[in-house]
């Protein structure tokens, strides 16, 4: 009996290895490819969406825009053409959620600083105070890399329209007066087609981990 097993030992090992490879290949082929949803306005909390957009079910994309960054440069949607990017809304004097959000965005910046496919975009919701020099000072204090991350200011109505009609991320339309600065903690993941592919709590470390995972999933779509 021992001679029998010794004789077929090599065959058994080879057979086992081939079987494992075949099983792995079958599992890989049958396993569904992970893909992120494409968010439409009717899929999002209506409180965060302009009333004109709440029932839109398809073809939603981030609208064209023209804003000014921390260096005084005009930033439009063309800057983000063929790029994946993460957007949020903040203001420099915020003492509640914004510092946490900014710290998390800095961590994301560190992770993506050598990735040419991914950029960052932060909109101030308090443009009357967050001028270009103010944004530049804030950027220098926080270690913002100009080539990766735009902090933008501009027309208040345009910013709030973007927040509610494009990014679906504000509880206010900005018409409550000079100090109407209502925004959410959401980080918004936008794909190369200007479609929303994810929302993440910018104050939650676990949500940031999910965002980093989803960036890899989204990048895989373009390979």
Summarize the annotated binding site as residue ranges: 94, 98, 183
Helix axes of 205-220 and 98-112: crossing angle, nearest 10 degrees: 40
Do the bridges between strand 118-124 and strand 186-190 make them parallel or antiparallel, or are there none, so unpaired?
unpaired
Q: Residues comprising the binding site for Cu cation?
A: 94, 98, 183
User: Which regions of 44-140 does DSSP assign to beta strands (E)?
Assistant: 66-68, 74-76, 84-90, 118-124
User: Which regions of the chain does DSSP assign to beta strands (E)?
Assistant: 66-68, 74-76, 84-90, 118-124, 149-152, 186-190, 196-201
> What b/e sequence results for 212-223 when a residue is b if at least 16 CB atoms lie within 10 Å of its CB, and e otherwise?
eebbeebeeeee
CA dihedral (24, 26, 30, 32) in degrees, to 10, reads: 30
Helix (H, G, I), strand (E, B) or coil at 147: coil
Task: Tell me the two tokens of residue 140.
Answer: 């220098």
């Amino acid at each position: 009996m021992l001679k029998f097993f010794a004789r077929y030992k090599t065959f058994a090992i080879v057979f086992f290895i081939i079987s494992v490879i075949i099983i792995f290949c079958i599992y890989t082929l049958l396993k569904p490819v992970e893909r992120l949803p494409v968010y439409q306005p009717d899929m999002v909390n209506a409180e965060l969406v302009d009333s004109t957009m709440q029932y839109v079910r398809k073809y939603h994309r981030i609208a064209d825009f023209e804003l000014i960054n921390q260096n005084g440069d005009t930033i439009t949607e063309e800057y983000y053409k063929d790029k994946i990017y993460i957007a949020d809304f903040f203001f420099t004097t915020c003492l509640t959620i914004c510092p946490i959000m900014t710290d998390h965005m800095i961590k994301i910046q560190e992770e993506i600083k050598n990735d040419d496919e991914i950029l960052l975009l932060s909109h101030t919701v308090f443009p009357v105070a967050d001028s270009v020099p103010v944004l530049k000072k804030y950027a220098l204090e926080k270690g913002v890399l100009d080539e990766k991350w735009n902090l933008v200011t501009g027309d208040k109505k345009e910013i709030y329209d973007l927040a509610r009609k494009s990014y679906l991320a504000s509880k206010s339309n900005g018409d409550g007066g000079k100090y109407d600065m209502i925004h959410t903690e959401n980080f918004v993941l936008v794909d190369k087609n200007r479609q929303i592919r994810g929302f993440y709590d910018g104050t939650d470390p676990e949500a940031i981990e999910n965002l980093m995972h989803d960036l890899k999933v989204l990048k895989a779509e373009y390979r």
